[in-house]
Chains A and B, each alone.
Chain A
Amino acid sequence: MIHFVLLISRQGKVRLTKWYSPYSQKERSKVLRELSGLVISRGPKLCNFVEWRGLKVVYKRYASLYFCICNDQEDNELETLSIIHHYVETLDRYFGSVCELDLIFNFHKAYFILDEVLLAGMMQETSKRTTLRLIAAQEELVEAAKEEASSLSNIIAQATK
């Protein structure tokens, strides 16, 4: 099972955190501090796995971002690596060649997509197309609600003129 997912920039800035196991807010910041130091300091040619507090952190660097997933010791590390890649590809399709700035300004969208890929620390959907279809459907709902609100305020505005 996945305990948490982190996105850390090369400067150690946190871009996304998702916790599937109970970590208190204090523990979370400690974990972030420890892991960003551990992961960022590793050389480029080394393997993508770090053993940490009896768990295993699988990380991969894409451009300036480190994607880290913390797993149980007995989980398949190579699969976790594929999960990271799957998520990155989904983001890429959504944003159209994603970059760090996309994830900063649209961080909530990165979260929404992650919530369609993983749930409760498990793999939820393996089809990028399905994931994006679900996201699009929900965005339509949001748009519809906005339109409704604005048309409503228009009506009110006209009525009170």
Chain B
Amino acid sequence: MNPFSSGTRLRDMIRAIRACKTAAEERGVVRKECAAIRASINENDQDYRHRNMAKLMFIHMLGYPTHFGQMECLKLIASPGFPEKRIGYLGLMLLLDERQEVLMLVTNSLKQDLNHTNQYIVGLALCALGNICSAEMASDLAPEVERLLQFRDPNIRKKAALCSIRIIRKVPDLADNFINPATSLLREKHHGVLITGVQLCTDLCKTSTEALEHIRKKCTDGLVRTLKDLANSPYSPEYDIAGITDPFLHIRLLKLLRVLGEGDVDASDSMNDILAQVATKTESNKVAGNAILYECVQTIMSIEDNGGLRVLAINILGRFLSNRDNNIRYVALNMLMKAVTADAQAVQRHRVTILECVKDLDASIRKRALELVYVLVNETNVKPLVKELVDYLEVSDLDFRGDLTTKICSIVAKFSPDKIWYIDQMLKVLSEAGNFVNDEVWYALIVVISNASDLHGYTVRALYRAFQTSAEQETLVRVTVWCIGEYGDMLVNNVGMLDVEDPITVTESDTVDVVEIAIKRHASDLTTKAMALVALLKLSSRFPSCSKRIEEIIVQLKGNLELELQQRAIEFNSVIAKHQNIRSTLVERMPVLDEATFIGRRAGSLPGATSTATAPSVNLPNGVAKPAAPLVDLLDLSSDDVPVPSSSGGDFLHDLLGVDLSPALQQSGTGQGSKSGTDVLLDLLSIGSPSTQGNSSAVDILSSNISNKASVSPLDDLSPLSLSSRATSNAGPMMDLLDGISSTPPAENNGSVYPSITAFESSSLRLTFNFTKQPGNPQTTAIQATFMNLSSNTYTDFVFQAAVPKFLQLHLDPASGNTLPAAGNGSITQTLRVTNSQHGKKSLVMRIRIAYKVNGKDTLEEGQISNFPRDL
């Protein structure tokens, strides 16, 4: 005999492990045992196989690897005796999971055991099958399980019923085979069989509409009768829990009735009486009784409307809500959430109690209550509710603040009655929990501030005050710095004073202090610092008295380790030092940001958000007004002796405008339309600044970087929040000219005309592509996609996505809309730009996916387009 396979018994091993004082000691014991077990496995030792498996299971529970024992499970299962099989199946369920391939090897043993003459062995096989079977095993063994549903012993029938659930979940196609045997289980008297039969039927109804119809028609009355008998049954010690006979069966029956009653008036009617009886007669002083009531309320809320029952249900929930037991309160909150859709008025009555729950000690209850409050908010109660929530924010747990902040911000944005209230609430949130606020929220705040022209002074003063107390909140600092950059003069001069404000005296240098603190604070991240730097540039022109100090700060930053900041500092320094004459125009106030576009984008309605254009990593909301003037001056700069290589003048231009390089630039072709462009631009230059304009390098920069459409788009992006807005209002004549250049040549010079194709057509949707190419850039094709709705329903939330192989580059512009009217009464257009790096060798190919909602239901269409014209 092997010296290692010492015959320690299971009990001794457990004792030895428990006696270990340290983790290392335990590992030692386990290692020794594992070595012994391995040795025994290698010797193919029959006698100890049983015991080894038990040991392995214990070792496994302690968290040690036991994969080497997997084959032993199979051997045990394959052996003829019951004790071996029992431990083998247990090991199988514990040591393996359904994803492991070894499991496939057991299918044959399972099949034999399912047909075994010993019913307990059949039971073991069913148990293992029900707990870990995979889809393949499910379809292999389904006939056996189906047969066992009619086995003589009820204990096998109930196991087979639960196995069937697992099989149907794995292979839904098999559901229809089980409908008839399942419904016959509903007539059983044995509770175990009945409860498993009810569960099987519930699952069948969820999987197959055919089963749902069948069971609804054939079994509803019978189930109602069963529930009635059960509810009225006399005391039976075997099933009694706290004075109720078999609450588990009660609950499963109620659950199945819910599925049957949902969306069917007749079925709902037939169960009204018994539901009313359960709701009124069930004792509610023990967990089991409350569990039944809770299930009953859920069923009442889901089945077709019956006013009286609903009142009863809401009253039960009201009682739950005032219960002292936290569990009961939790489920009440959970259920009220579903009741809101049915009867919002009734739930509103409990608002005060729910609000108290938001402040509960228990995180689970707080979370539920907060979600409930969120759906209860409306225009009339928003002010007091938000006040409560914001007040609570100050004392809330740190780990709850994230959730709470998000919800408050969302409520405030959705229901704010006026701008001043919005700004007030957001400032409170930012000063309390600014670090939990996500970027969208403070972007939105800046957009709102920018639009509220009569509140600029008020806002900047309020922010200044908030900064004094809450300078550690990152997002508050960002918004403060932005507003000081824009409206710093209003802070100093108390412009636009409202009646509600206390006057404050702030000097110019106090204001610069704020920005300096922000820029020098260690915790500030790159975005904050960059925003502060832009604010400084703006202040340098607004506060002449401080310009010396500002210059010093900027000079210090010229040595910053962050490339972004260093570059910016150098640029701004040269603006201050050498271009006094243009500085005031350069740093004028931002034009009002477009609220509508921003909100639209936030709602995700513009599919452009999903296109390949990624958001710039550093997105500076501070920009420069009136781009027409600075653009000309910039030329001047780039021909000056600035420490930026002149070949990257275009980049410099974007940088100075405060916009990070947008991906659009990378897609700009080279030299397209340059001939005509240069002339026009030369003219423009001579208008702009007559002194240096003979310089050819400036012209080169212009022709390569400005005269195509792509470099216009960064200008569009000036208000960094509106990707889709076409800058027209503030662009001035220069922009128009540029636009003109880029759009005229294709119309005239485009020699080749490509036929349109119907790229995709289904019974409900048609997609056509029109192609255009810019001359001089044969690789790039602009595709105009037009979507037509062929059905009689309007599509909403329409989103088009496309993917291309690696040799292609795809850029999607925003679509013209996201709603597609029915029956071809309108269309959505969207422009795609495809660059083919293998132009002439390979033709285009594209895979598309179109998602939309029809009557609120999500629909998805997919397809591949390979019928592009050959030479694209």
Q: Which residues of A contact B (CB under 8 A)?
A: 13-20, 22-25, 28-29, 32, 43, 45-51, 76-79, 81-83, 85-86, 104-105, 107-108, 111-112, 115, 119-120, 122-130, 134, 137-138, 141-142, 145-146
Contacts and interface: CB of A to CB of B under 8 A. Distances in A.
A9 to B, nearest CB: 11
Q: For chain B, which range describes its interface: under 10, 10 to 19, 20 to 34, or 35 or more residues?
A: 35 or more
B192 A125 contact: yes
A137 B119 CA distance: 11
Contact of B162 (A43, A124, A142, A145): A124
Nearest to A57: B364
B241 A82 contact: yes
Nearest to B67: A25
Contact of B330 (A29, A77, A82, A138): A77
A123 B195 contact: yes
B326 A47 contact: yes
Interface in B296-341: 298, 326-331, 334
Contacts of A111: 90, 94
A99 to B, nearest CB: 14
Contacts of B363: 46
B427 interface: no
Nearest to A45: B326
Contacts of A115: 90, 127, 131
Q: Which of B131, B196, B251, B255 has the most CB of A within 10 A?
A: B131
Contact of B99 (A24, A48, A86, A124): A24
Contacts of A23: 97
A95 to B, nearest CB: 15
Contacts of A128: 238
Given A111-B90, A126-B239, A141-B120, 4 more contacts: A18-B93, A47-B364, A82-B248, A126-B195
Given A46-B326, A81-B291, A82-B287, A124 B159 contact: yes
Nearest to A48: B327
Interface in B97-134: 97-99, 118, 120, 123, 126-127, 130-131
Contacts of A81: 287, 291, 327
B145 to A, nearest CB: 11
Interface stretch (B58-66, B762-770, B774-782): B58-66
B36 interface: no
B247 A77 contact: no
A14 B162 contact: no
A18 B797 CA distance: 43
Nearest to B164: A120
Interface stretch (B81-89, B409-417, B480-488, B605-613): B81-89
Nearest to B53: A108
Given A47-B364, A141-B120, A122 B196 contact: yes
A78 B331 contact: yes
Contacts of A15: 61
B216 interface: no
A17 B94 contact: yes
B599 to A, nearest CB: 29
Given A17-B61, A49-B327, A122-B196, A79 B291 contact: yes
Contacts of B123: 134
Contact of A14 (B61, B295, B328): B61
Interface string B629-641: 0000000000000
